[in-house]
């Protein structure tokens, strides 16, 4: 019988036993040395040749693999990309996309049951949110989920999920990508982009609202106007805003635009209170609008908006 190696690496500690792999590739189960070694530490082995020391190689190997697998399972959540922000899309049904620090998509979920079919057609894991929005628009159009009509509007809200120094995607760039995709698919209506604080997401969930619609209610309340909760849930966005472009500029300074032939004598967009131009870059850039996206907090009064008609 070949002599046992004089050195080995500690793979695991189980009670009073330690699992060692030798330089020859043998797995040993030995009494824990004193003082106990650390995992991964190379230690000297006793000088012996007795087969009593050598356990079933395959059994100990399997135990070592299991130990390594369990260790990986514990640290795996910390190795995977973590969502730092979410982007809420209010189309005909609500959709939320979560992204990591590089703005790559980690999760897509429907905010209402009717949006599940749309989500099932989207395979966006790992894609950049800036390129994925065009897939969202194309799929939504194919599913009949893009708003239509004279007062059609798409509302996009960026919500940080962690610290303020990790705010998520740039709203201005999102607006540009969304506008280009919507025009490509013949959308006629308004595109509205806003940023919310992370607390808004929790409060919106309590009321059964998307963050975008919840924030509309907060903005209206701040302007002295109450919106019924049932209307926030069901009414088209432009109905809630009473179809006023003056209201849009007040509530979405520099971050709204009109798209499509149905909104003027010339195909194009109008942004920042009605200035018309021929290029998306000119009209949708921060320099073109002259306004930055406000950081909106969510101070929560006892009754942010009426829960039902009659105020009960």
Which residues contact residue 306 at a Cβ distance below 8 angstroms, ignoring those fewer than 6 apart?
226, 227, 228, 229
Find the mean pLDDT for residues 236-243: 83
Q: What is the pLDDT of residue 264?
A: 40
Average pLDDT, the chain: 75
Dist. CA 127–CA 139, nearest whole Å: 15
- The pLDDT of residue 241 is above 60: yes
Length of the chain: 312
Whether 257 contacts 284, CB under 8 Å? yes
What are the helix (H) ranges across 166-302?
171-184, 198-206, 211-222, 229-234, 237-240, 245-251, 280-284, 286-289
pLDDT per position as a tens digit, 198-217: 888 889 988 889 999 999 99
Whole-prediction pTM value?
Answer: 0.63
Dist. CA 118–CA 109, nearest whole Å: 9
Domain boundaries, the chain: 7-79, 85-289
Count other Cβ atoms within 10 Å, centred on residue 99: 25
87 pLDDT tier (thresholds 50, 70, 90): very high
Q: What is the pLDDT of residue 130?
A: 94
């Amino acid at each position: 019988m070949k002599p046992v190696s004089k050195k080995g690496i500690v793979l695991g500690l189980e009670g009073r036993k330690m699992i060692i792999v030798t330089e020859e590739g043998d797995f040993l189960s030995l009494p824990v040395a004193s003082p106990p070694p650390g995992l991964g530490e190379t230690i000297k082995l006793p000088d012996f040749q007795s087969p009593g020391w050598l356990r079933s190689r395959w059994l100990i190997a399997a135990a070592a693999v299991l130990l390594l697998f369990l260790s990986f399972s514990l640290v795996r959540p910390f190795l995977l990309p973590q969502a730092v922000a979410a982007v809420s899309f209010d189309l005909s049904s609500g959709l939320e996309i979560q992204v990591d620090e590089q703005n790559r998509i980690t999760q897509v979920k429907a905010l209402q049951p009717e949006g599940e079919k749309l989500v099932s057609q989207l395979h966006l894991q790992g894609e950049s949110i800036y390129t994925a929005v065009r897939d969202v628009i194309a799929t939504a159009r194919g599913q009949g989920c893009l708003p239509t009509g004279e007062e059609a509007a798409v509302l996009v809200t960026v919500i940080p999920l962690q610290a303020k120094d990790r705010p998520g995607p740039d709203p201005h760039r999102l607006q540009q990508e969304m506008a280009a995709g919507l025009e490509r698919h013949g959308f006629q209506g308004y595109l509205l982009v806003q940023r919310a604080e992370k607390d808004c997401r929790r409060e919106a969930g309590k009321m059964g609202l998307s963050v975008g619609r919840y924030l509309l209610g907060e903005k209206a309340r701040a302007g002295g106007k109450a919106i019924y909760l049932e209307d926030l849930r069901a009414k088209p966005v432009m109905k809630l805003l009473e179809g006023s472009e003056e209201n849009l500029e007040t509530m979405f300074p520099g971050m709204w635009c009109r798209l499509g032939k149905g909104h003027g004598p010339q195909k194009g967009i109008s942004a920042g209170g009605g200035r018309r131009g021929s290029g998306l870059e000119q009209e949708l850039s921060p320099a073109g609008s002259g306004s930055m996206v406000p950081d909106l907090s969510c101070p929560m009064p006892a009754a942010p908006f009426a829960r039902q008609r009659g105020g009960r």
